Chains A and B, each alone.
Chain A
Amino acid sequence: MKGDVILSVEGVSLAFGGVKALQGVSFDVKEGEVRAIIGPNGAGKSSMLNVINGVYHPQQGKIRFKDKAFADMNSHEAAALGIARTFQNIALFRGMTVLDNIMTGRNLKMRCGFLQQALWLGPARREELEHRRAVEEIIDFLEIQHIRRTPVGRLPYGLQKRVELGRALAAEPALLLLDEPMAGMNLEEKQDMCRFVLEVNDHYGTTLVLIEHDMGVVMDISDRVVVLDYGRKIADDVPEKIRGNQQVIDAYLGVTH
């Protein structure tokens, strides 16, 4: 089926003071798969993503990415290793155009120094052209040519989400973390987004980890699903099995413990 394990999360625990956000969570992500993390509100899904890309540092456990183990790493290192993400509340530069926003995603790939760029020297110029081409390919891929020059703040929500995906893609990540990519979208926007997510996976071969609330979407597009509840992993399986899992149903519908 899918390739080797690219990311493994081993016994990760994370607490904020007395609040235990994650308790001994372990799972793995295989290369090229679409992995969903689901769970009720406050289950620790976003915390999990934040641990994976180095925003939070777990008290226990470790993350192994491409055969390198990290007890804790910061988000710069994660980005340099090829982990990119989008955010639940869009985090774009609202006053900048779509093109410039996506260009910022190429930041880590730029080699020329400030002076070279300011003086528009040969290498800086070549580099700029190369990056611009990569960005244009993403714009083409996400079908947002018509808003290339529009400041992001003026765009509707669904398109902003698409731009954010574009920025994450610009980093050419090996692993892409999507935090609720379809939240607040209407049916049509969701369908578009699903198509893009699947195409990213198919076309660029990017491994995807996504948090999503819409069960229909999760069951449709993911290869395997991890279910969290109160910071613990309660299930980890293919979507068909998750659908019938009693513990998952209980967690979602709520039963007296």
Chain B
Amino acid sequence: MAIDIGTLDTFPKLLMHHAQVRGERPAIREKDLGIWQTWTWREFADEVRFLACGLAEQGLKRGDHVALIGANRPRIYAGIAAAQCLGAIPIPLYQDAVAGEMVFPIRNAEVSHAIAEDQEQVDKLLEILPQCPSLEHIYYDDPRGLRHYSAPQLESYDKLRELGRSRYRADPAFLEEEIAKGRGVDSAAMFFTSGTTGVPKGVVLTYTNLIERSKVVADWEGIGEDDVVLAFMPPAWIGQNIFSYAQPLVAGYCICCPESAETVTPDMREIGPTYYFAPPRVFEALLTQVSVRMDDAAAPKRALYRYFMGVARRVGERIMEGKPVSALERLRYWLGDLLVYGPLRNVLGMSRIRIAYTGGEAIGPDLFVFYRSIGVNLKQLYGSTETSVFVCVQPNDRVKSDTVGPAVPGVELKFTPERELLIRSPGLFKEYYKNPQATLEAKDSEGWFHTGDAGYIDADGHLKIIDRAKDVGALADGTLFAPKYLENKLKFFPYIKEAVCFGDKRDKVCAFLNIDMEAVGAWAERRNMPYSGYTDLASRDEVYALLRGCVEQVNADLAREPEIANSQIGRFLVLHKELDADDEELTRTRKVRRRFVGEKYAPLVEALYDGRQSVRVEAKVRYEDGRTGTFSADLKISDAKTFPPAAAKRAA
């Protein structure tokens, strides 16, 4: 199934190719009214043709920008393809962004047309309309609640499609010519980086960037038309876009859109994807669910689970990688697969997975090994929006939990003296839109992209990322301080949802913690502990004791790693609220904005270091409906035991 990406050098060309060679195979499935509805490649291509003609009728021209705002829906993906047919550049935006966050991308790219999923998205666009004069047309997919809207910019998707259909019927050659005009070097799409600091940047990727990278990895992993992917992350995230738009168009596989955000788990069980990509936090949340349910199970089941998970930890990975394992252990693992791992994979919807990737940020080694040991071929990859994702991928037989694998064919890596990673690859982005200075800073004259990540290549040739280069610091005594590394260790405990570590230029490391409401709530319930809500539960002494145990276990672990043994966590507190993207404490992809949190809660940080036992916090909270309120609470601060490097065995 060799696709010639020399001639099929744009996504619309690839789409029309698939419609021809595998027209009756499924391209997209969507669960609607409780039933999986299938669009074949032929149907999907028709949808795109009509939509593209409709957009052309409405005045969309080559080089214009189209915003797409919505969850994973066939029509959102059709919108992306339709814009590309005309040589316009689609910009998927995060559907959970607040209205204000959409102003910058829309103004920056002078977006003229937008396709919005539903009333919620339309409301946001109408709200910012006065600030975005370029926006002339808003098309909505789901008409619900929009009947009485009278904004002249509004038009339904269905009408647009009808308009396009008559145009296409009258003049089919027009679109074929437009598609033929596209070239691989043209801008294919633009993704706004969530930006942990400063204003967002629009990353412009060309067709060649996306198609070449997708193809190299699809060929390397043997991904083809029989594969199935469940698309459940925001389409505005490059990771999702690669897996549910670029790569299916290259490899011809089928993507499935879940019914709603809440039904992803059951939908996944129904579809049984073979190829899977999710950031670590999704794997983390799934494991938390499993742990919580196992804690609630009857004693014999718990014992069974504990015993066989022990077996899996010992030999599971070795068996998957085909390494030698004794016959007795094989027998035990086989039994475990029958009784525990198989059913567990089934519950997780992972029975058919051949390849699962995680990326976007570092994954806790224990979490990673958990999935591999139960027979899910989970692998790490490394990349970013600017590199069209694929930079490093772990090969099937050489997976190491603490590295992201060797470079994918075509990628060159090197490091600055400060350990910052530089990349040269065919997938490297064209530019930051209208921001030549940032482009120049990120991509030097020789074409090396400065990632901002610190790391090194290990003895096996695998890339190991420690942290963001600017975040890696040192304690007062010179010990390496890699906050992300510590936070990930903490977050592996099901009880800890988020952690923020401080310690740069300080004498010791201290941490803010967020409890995981689901796990700690269930834990409290089993102990008959009444609580009124997050703040109440988080401030309980029992919860502090629980978390102290977790922190001390991390410290015991750290004591065994000589270079960072001194970065054990001396003191911690449990925050009175969950860190939230709406309060700008997390990015939209839920990464902690450590510096912002440190500044926002500066008095708490000080209290951690000056030895106080509690600190009063006045907090402004923003409710979901936009109102704000304040409340104050006393936060307790707890000390945690640290271990000298030699005495680590006891607690572990």
Contacts and interface: CB of A to CB of B under 8 A. Distances in A.
Partners in one complex: yes
Nearest to B31: A145
A120 to B, nearest CB: 19
A199 interface: yes
Interface in B131-165: 144-145, 147-148
Interface string A132-157: 11001101110101101100000000
Contacts of A139: 33-34
A203 B33 CA distance: 17
Contacts of A140: 32-33
B144 A145 contact: no
B33 A137 contact: yes
Nearest to A191: B625
Contacts of B148: 202
Interface string B605-625: 000000000000000000011
B626 to A, nearest CB: 12
Interface string A159-200: 000000000000000000000000000011001000100010
Contact of B262 (A145, A188, A195): A145
Most B Cβ at <10 Å: residue of A140, A141, A188, A195 = A140
Interface string B148-189: 100000000000000000000000000000000000000000
Given A137-B33, A139-B34, A191-B625, A145 B260 contact: yes
Interface of A: 132-133, 136-137, 139-141, 143, 145-146, 148-149, 187-188, 191, 195, 199, 202-203
A199 B263 CA distance: 23
A146 B260 contact: yes
A143 B34 CA distance: 12
- Please list the 5 inter-chain residue pairs (A to B) with the smallest Cβ-Cβ separation, ordered nearest first: A146-B262, A136-B33, A146-B263, A136-B34, A145-B259
B625 A145 contact: no
A145 B263 contact: yes
Contacts of A148: 34
A146 B259 CA distance: 8
A161 to B, nearest CB: 18
Contacts, number: 36
B625 A199 contact: no
Contacts of B32: 140
B260 A143 contact: yes
Nearest to B33: A136
Contacts of A149: 266
Contacts of A202: 145, 147-148
Given A146-B263, A188-B624, A191-B625, A199 B144 contact: yes
Contacts of A199: 144-145
Contacts of B262: 145-146
Contacts of B260: 143, 145-146
Contacts of B144: 141, 199, 203
15 contacts: A132-B34, A137-B33, A139-B33, A139-B34, A140-B32, A145-B259, A145-B260, A145-B262, A146-B266, A149-B266, A187-B625, A188-B625, A191-B625, A202-B147, A203-B144
Contacts of A143: 260
Nearest to B624: A188
Nearest to B143: A203
Nearest to A143: B260
B120 to A, nearest CB: 11
Contacts of A195: 145
Contacts of A145: 34, 259-260, 262-263
A133 B147 contact: no
Contacts of A188: 624-625
A140 B30 CA distance: 14
Interface of B: 32-35, 144-145, 147-148, 259-260, 262-263, 266, 624-625
Nearest to A139: B34
Given A145-B262, A146-B260, 18 more contacts: A132-B34, A133-B33, A136-B33, A136-B34, A136-B35, A137-B33, A139-B33, A140-B32, A141-B144, A145-B34, A145-B260, A146-B262, A146-B266, A188-B624, A188-B625, A191-B625, A202-B145, A203-B147
A220 to B, nearest CB: 14
Contacts of B34: 132, 136, 139, 145, 148
Contacts of B259: 145-146
A119 B441 CA distance: 73
B534 to A, nearest CB: 14
A195 B118 CA distance: 15
A23 to B, nearest CB: 40
A226 to B, nearest CB: 26
Contacts of A137: 33
B25 to A, nearest CB: 26
A202 B259 CA distance: 24
Most B Cβ at <10 Å: residue of A136, A146, A148, A199 = A146
A188 B627 CA distance: 13
Nearest to A141: B144
Contacts of B35: 136
A137 B144 CA distance: 12
Contacts of B266: 146, 149
Nearest to B260: A145
Nearest to B145: A199
A142 to B, nearest CB: 11
A15 to B, nearest CB: 44
B278 to A, nearest CB: 19
Contacts of A133: 33
A137 B32 CA distance: 9
Most B Cβ at <10 Å: residue of A136, A145, A187, A195 = A145
A30 B148 CA distance: 21
Nearest to B263: A146
B74 to A, nearest CB: 16
A38 B509 CA distance: 59
Most A Cβ at <10 Å: residue of B32, B33, B147 = B33
A101 to B, nearest CB: 15
Contacts of A132: 34
A204 to B, nearest CB: 12
Contacts of B147: 202-203
Contacts of B624: 188
A252 B253 CA distance: 65
A133 B35 CA distance: 10
A132 B35 CA distance: 11
A169 to B, nearest CB: 14
A132 B33 CA distance: 9
Nearest to A199: B145
A149 B624 CA distance: 29
A11 B32 CA distance: 48
Nearest to A133: B33
A175 to B, nearest CB: 21
Nearest to B261: A146
A45 to B, nearest CB: 29
Nearest to A188: B624
Contacts of A187: 625
B142 to A, nearest CB: 10
A199 B35 CA distance: 24
A187 B626 CA distance: 13
A146 B33 CA distance: 12
A145 B32 CA distance: 10
Contacts of B33: 133, 136-137, 139-140
Contacts of A136: 33-35
A136 B624 CA distance: 29
